[in-house]
């Protein structure tokens, strides 16, 4: 348990925290607005959770998608729950843009645009995300 990354690290800048999960902003210069919804207990699979907790996590993921669409107006939202390396339930919620570093591949795939740098509009959206996330999430 003590060697699990998400049991010993927040995994990013905590924007929201409740008993069941935390929502963190991942520090990734290529992917502004990259959120993770991390379970606040060590479980391997989503189906190891009760239906209630599983759906509560998913509702948080969907709320993150809504907020990211509103603030970042991305080309696409990418959702994933893998955990092959860190088998502790967590969701990735990633706003994607045409010509971003891996587009149209998943961010785990081949780099397609090595020179990509987020625009100033995205930097501003990230500032707004940090400032407004909690109120938008609870709205």
Report how far apart, in Å, the C-alpha atoms of 106 and of each of 25, 53, 129, 133 are: 18, 27, 23, 25
Helix (H, G, I), strand (E, B) or coil at 6: helix
Please identify which residue in 42, 76, 111, 134 interacts with a second copy, judged by CB under 8 A. 76
Place of tokens 């969701």: 91
Rounded Cα gap, residues 74 and 82, in angstroms: 22
Peptide bond into 21 cis (omega under 30): no
Interface residues for a second copy in 41-60 (CB under 8 A)? Answer: 44-47, 51, 54-55, 58
Please identify which residue in 18, 80, 117, 121 interacts with a second copy, judged by CB under 8 A. 80
Structure token digits, residue 49 = 């959770």
For residue 73, the minimal CB distance to a second copy (Å) is: 12
**Interface characters, 106-125, with a second copy (x: CB under 8 A):** x-xx----------------
Evaluate whether 116 touches 30 at the Cβ level (below 8 Å).
yes
Contact status: 26 vs a second copy (CB under 8 A): no
Please identify which residue in 32, 65, 101, 125 interacts with a second copy, judged by CB under 8 A. 65
Applying CB under 8 A, the residues found at the interface with a second copy are 44-47, 51, 54-55, 58, 62, 65-66, 69, 75-85, 87, 96, 103-106, 108-109
């Amino acid at each position: 348990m003590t060697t699990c990354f998400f049991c010993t690290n927040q995994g990013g800048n905590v924007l929201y925290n409740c008993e069941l999960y935390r929502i963190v902003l991942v520090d990734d210069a290529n992917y502004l607005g990259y959120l993770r919804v991390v379970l606040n207990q060590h479980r391997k699979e989503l189906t190891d959770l009760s239906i209630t907790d599983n759906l509560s996590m998913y509702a948080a993921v969907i709320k993150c998608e809504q907020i990211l669409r509103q603030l970042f107006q991305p080309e696409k939202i990418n959702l994933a729950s893998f955990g092959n390396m860190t088998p502790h339930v967590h969701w990735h919620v990633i706003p994607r843009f045409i010509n971003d570093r891996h587009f149209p591949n998943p961010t785990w795939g081949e780099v397609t645009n090595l020179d990509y740098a987020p625009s100033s509009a995205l930097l501003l959206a990230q500032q707004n995300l940090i400032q407004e996330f909690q109120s938008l999430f609870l709205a």
